[in-house]
Amino acid sequence: MQDRHTGAIGVGVVGLGRAFMLMLADLENDPRFNLVAACDTRSSARESFSSQYAAPTYSTVKALADDPYVEVVYIASPHQLHKDHAIAALAAGKHVLIEKPIAIDLASSRAIIDAAVGSKGNVIVGPSHSFDPQIEACLQIIKSGKYGSLRMIRTNYYTDFMYRPRRPEELRTEEGGGVVFSQAAHQVDVVRLLAGGQTAQVYAHTGAWDRKRPSEGAYTALLKFENGISANLFYSGFAHYDTDEEFQWMSELGIKKDPAQYGAARRLLQTIDDKTEQRLKNLRAFGPDINSQSPAGNEHFGGLVLTFDQADIRVTPQALYIYEDEQIRTEPVLPAIAGRRGVLNALWALVKDGVSPVQDGRWGHATLEVCRGILTSGKSGDVQIMCEQVPVPGYPDVK
């Protein structure tokens, strides 16, 4: 067993699945963090973890949270388990980093918030793409007031999300499946951060058009904020077009895509049965056959344009293109390969300095309220009024 007491923050992982895989490289490469324990239902994943990190694995979250070397419990289990896992970790007085969405129903996210109130631990919900450095750069510009008030946000993403290998519950809305819980959670987080956080109204259309993949695979929504800012959201996880094309084939995860792989996800699905799909999904999780690619650029979440009084900003993972009154300025996004550094910085600040980021439990709850508003509005055709929103500290008044 390694020396688990290194001065770095000890992270205990709950759920060695796909989400953890996407954090793994950054956690490993960041000397501020140590992987000191894990919990998973798959014995192969537990064994791989143990041998790779010389660290114990536990069969319950409570046992993991009681490990004195665990300072942060990273909850990367399926959405519908977040509540129980977060409450167990908070009961042990540990900080928790919860993968988005915080939960799939508002009662669960409220329960997590309540558990944090009575705990020494705090909650961060992330990493969503609201932690990407280009979003932080935009927020700084908004706060500077340099271009007057922000008025409108337009964001869109075309992906093959619905045709990647999935567990059955990932295609059942009531269990947290479909793109609204998984993907709108990103888009709403980004948009709320840029617009000041306090969504007033949500109106949306949702689409579940593929009977073989029966959950909502696409949505489009208009969000109106208390300060009057308007946001236009579009997501299709049924898409053939791939927005990454607009970013020199840089993927959501900052990994270069090979355009020759066009259509691969659909092609693969047509040749396999449900059991093989499960196996492929597991291959994307942590285990003995890890196969991770290094990022070549920043993560992102599709097209994003901000409309200010005195400028428009077109946001890409590589640069901000700022269309001013007199000229177009290009600002490179730095760092250029940030990975998940944003959320890890936030986690460090929370544990070491007691400073919480915007994206805490209440924030995640408010984002979930908007996501659920998208689903409800899509079904009912009505405008949904939001009641549990929280502001971005220091956000300027819209004039």
Residue 255 binds a copy of itself, judged by CB under 8 A: no
Residue 241 binds a copy of itself, judged by CB under 8 A: yes
Residue 326 binds a copy of itself, judged by CB under 8 A: yes
Q: What are phi and psi of 332, to 5 degrees?
A: -65, 145
Residue 345 binds a copy of itself, judged by CB under 8 A: no
Establish how many alpha carbons lie within 13 A of residue 259's alpha carbon, considering only the half-sphere containing its beta carbon: 9
Residue 81 binds a copy of itself, judged by CB under 8 A: no
User: Judged by CB under 8 A, which of 156, 227, 282, 316 binds a copy of itself?
Assistant: 156
User: Judged by CB under 8 A, which of 210, 226, 277, 388 binds a copy of itself?
Assistant: 210
Instruction: Give the count of residues interacting with a copy of itself (CB under 8 A).
Output: 48
Cβ-based nearer residue to a copy of itself, 201 or 345? 201
CA distance 292 to 359: 27
User: Judged by CB under 8 A, which of 314, 337, 388, 391 binds a copy of itself?
Assistant: 314
User: Judged by CB under 8 A, which of 52, 80, 149, 318 binds a copy of itself?
Assistant: 149
Residue 167 binds a copy of itself, judged by CB under 8 A: no
Residue 161 binds a copy of itself, judged by CB under 8 A: no
User: Judged by CB under 8 A, which of 21, 222, 253, 337 binds a copy of itself?
Assistant: 222
Choices 81-89, 103-111, 240-248, 276-284 (CB under 8 A): range interacting with a copy of itself: 240-248
Least distance (Å) between residue 297 CB and a copy of itself: 21
Choices 51-59, 78-86, 97-105, 324-332 (CB under 8 A): range interacting with a copy of itself: 324-332
Least distance (Å) between residue 238 CB and a copy of itself: 7
Cβ-based nearer residue to a copy of itself, 80 or 220? 220
Least distance (Å) between residue 250 CB and a copy of itself: 18
Least distance (Å) between residue 219 CB and a copy of itself: 9
CA distance 267 to 332: 37
Choices 9-17, 71-79, 129-137, 258-266 (CB under 8 A): range interacting with a copy of itself: 258-266
Residue 278 binds a copy of itself, judged by CB under 8 A: no
Residue 173 binds a copy of itself, judged by CB under 8 A: no
CA distance 71 to 75: 13
Binding site for a copy of itself (CB under 8 A): 149, 151-152, 154, 156, 158, 201, 203-205, 207, 209-210, 218, 220-222, 224, 230, 232, 234, 236, 238-242, 262-263, 266-267, 305, 307, 309-312, 314, 321, 323-328, 381-383
